[in-house]
Structure 1
């Protein structure tokens, strides 16, 4: 059952004040750090005619203000950036994007790309090398894949406002042949011991730890039990924020202890005309020190029959419907989302529950 959202009441206004809305303007606290996370990015496929005509910046025109306003923006890079033609193995879907698109990825504000997914190795070791070269050329940090297992498990570390923010990424999807080994490149496999050990190791030096998982199955709205276990393990090991990808649709959101879990952000700019993935979200999470002080959900229209490969922020009734749907799929986690002007603000403080209708 969808929880009612209070409107036009003192309690509702009090909640909104305490929830620190974070979209541009992301607040006035100079010490706070805002991380914006986007879903699956694929600058190729059916989008190619638009990209060739309008350039690689075209998909970001409607969301660039939000991305630029973040202190750090992170995205799942779903396709290798390569011009190679020899595929690694036969699959139903093989993806790639032009390495030149890395310039637009950086220019729009993305600081980190997660590579632990089921397509980054579609063109093998050479395709992965081309991707890393393209990202390094533009100054985009990456994590989740590398020339061997040790490098695939290495975090991307950024220093912002005298704080060290670490990103880790793991894949829990097939094909297993994409997983890195001690002697071959690939993605970081999401094994329990790797996740636990990597987080505990980096937590000694990092103020904030963000972990990305490529998991679940496509078009599934609710997380599987193993996703919940992995996310809880990551937070118990010291992670602050969990972001999920791969289902291509939005999954529920959970507040667990002092951490926040977005089980799936859905698609972002993705070169497919499938009607099965009409909406995605940007998650804007704000930290003070290593504590989350606010979290905002920005719903996106990613139905490419309507937006033509340029995600657009939902407004009006469609935004309200999207927020109600996100509330519904998050109900099992007893999460409360306050809605205002088409965006959602996650209730973080227990004290605010008295402001919610039963």
Structure 2
């Protein structure tokens, strides 16, 4: 009998050890599992958004695009502030399509105004209108985009007439400034002008968020070169110098876009920079083949003055004609890990395999 009980005890111990091993193997640390500090705020950034176009031909999704971000809506809406870059215009019909220096790479997007409801449902607070597609339908498109966002309660910045946007939430005041090298946009290449805008914004808000549309486009341009980038004869800026200069001027979080692929991230002077957030939700008008279809949702946690604590990457994937899906293979996390190490080896940023971004201040 004593031997029988000894066997039971050994069996129970073995089962307990096996369970402990299983629990430890599934104990995944993400930003949401960390205990936030009392003064923590969260800001989500995503890349390019173009929810379908009816110009020059109908490439609109079914259900007015309601399915496009449905899977990631719980992620997007779970932050104090959520930001995205709106490619194209919100306009039902009409407008004068833009003309480009090189017609072979000239694309114009016109998305019906009702599609703004998808942005509202996903929880977007701020959008950049500083990019090469904001003027796709001329002044009529620009005015319609701004009016549509405003009526939906979404702030915007980046057009010459609306350089910045400010709002307050839970006693924290946020400001957005957006820049691009394109007509009617606040200039990316006027560094002194950009510094002045950011410094003024920093004097009246707690957290300054900067968006830029810069860098060359395509899969061969994943790296940040630390020099001016030219693309089809256009100066797309020195985004490395631009980002560091604006943090020196008072920026707290910088979200880049423009290359249509994801680039690396770094922390400079305890402030977070994502150099390109890629194609987030671009239905049928922008290529999502291969790495062009991989993009992060990055949730940045800071104190109430913008000092970086940590961040979390949610990896997403698009294929042609589908909405945004969470990528179980976490491919974009691997890309950001690799690019960040190679492009910013001096930045003490750590990115684990689950997308948690931490920083050891020097």
Please give the TM-score of this superposition, normalised by the length of structure 1.
Answer: 0.80
After superposition, the C-alpha distances for 1:220-262 in whole angstroms (9 at most, x for unaligned) are 1012321110000010001011110111100111111121110
2:314 alignment counterpart:
298
Q: Which runs of 5+ in 1 are unaligned?
A: 1-7, 179-185, 352-358
Q: Please state whether the residue corresponding to 1:129 is helix, strand or coil.
A: helix
1:171 alignment counterpart:
180
Matched, 1:109 2:123: yes
Would the aligned equivalents of 1:64 and 1:109 in 2 still touch at CA under 8 Å?
yes
2:143 to 114, 123, 129: 129
Larger RCO (CA under 8 A, 6+ residues apart):
1
Please give the TM-score of this superposition, normalised by the length of structure 2.
Answer: 0.79
Distance 1:312 1:120 in 2: 26
Sort the Cα spacing of 1:299 and 1:49 in 2 relative to 1 into closer, same or farther, 3 A. farther
Q: Please state whether the residue corresponding to 2:281 is helix, strand or coil.
A: strand
1:344 to 350, 355, 358: 355
Please identify, of 273-282 and 75-84, the stretch whose mean Cα deviation from structure 2 is larger.
273-282
Would the aligned equivalents of 2:43 and 2:82 in 1 still touch at CA under 8 Å?
yes
Would the aligned equivalents of 1:216 and 1:224 in 2 still touch at CA under 8 Å?
no
Q: Please state whether the residue corresponding to 1:248 is helix, strand or coil.
A: coil
After superposition, the C-alpha distances for 1:248-296 in whole angstroms (9 at most, x for unaligned) are 1001111111211100000111023441512011110012221222211
Larger C-alpha radius of gyration, 1 or 2? 2
Matched, 1:38 2:46: yes
After superposition, the C-alpha distances for 1:1-59 in whole angstroms (9 at most, x for unaligned) are xxxxxxx9xxx99995xxx713xx79665642111111100011499978552233211
Would the aligned equivalents of 1:269 and 1:309 in 2 still touch at CA under 8 Å?
no
Q: Which runs of 5+ in 2 are unaligned?
A: 1-20, 227-237
Q: Residues 267-346 of structure 1 correspond to what in structure 2 (within 5 A)?
A: 267-272=279-284, 273-276=287-290, 277-290=292-305, 291-302=307-318, 304-305=319-320, 308-315=321-328, 318-319=329-330, 321-331=331-341, 332-334=343-345, 335-340=348-353, 343-346=354-357
Would the aligned equivalents of 2:262 and 2:278 in 1 still touch at CA under 8 Å?
yes
Matched, 1:222 2:236: no
**Number of aligned positions between the proteins:** 312
C-alpha displacement of 1:79: 0.9
2:4 alignment counterpart:
none
RMSD value over aligned CA atoms?
2.7
Would the aligned equivalents of 1:43 and 1:101 in 2 still touch at CA under 8 Å?
yes
Would the aligned equivalents of 1:249 and 1:264 in 2 still touch at CA under 8 Å?
yes
1:187 alignment counterpart:
185
Distance 1:202 1:264 in 2: 23
Would the aligned equivalents of 1:46 and 1:271 in 2 still touch at CA under 8 Å?
no
C-alpha displacement of 1:134: 0.7
After superposition, the C-alpha distances for 1:307-341 in whole angstroms (9 at most, x for unaligned) are x33111111xx21x43222111111313543425x
Q: Please state whether the residue corresponding to 1:347 is helix, strand or coil.
A: strand
Would the aligned equivalents of 2:64 and 2:114 in 1 still touch at CA under 8 Å?
no
Sort the Cα spacing of 1:266 and 1:218 in 2 relative to 1 into closer, same or farther, 3 A. same
Would the aligned equivalents of 1:80 and 1:120 in 2 still touch at CA under 8 Å?
yes
Distance 2:223 2:258 in 1: 13
Q: Please state whether the residue corresponding to 1:55 is helix, strand or coil.
A: helix
1:232 to 230, 244, 248: 244
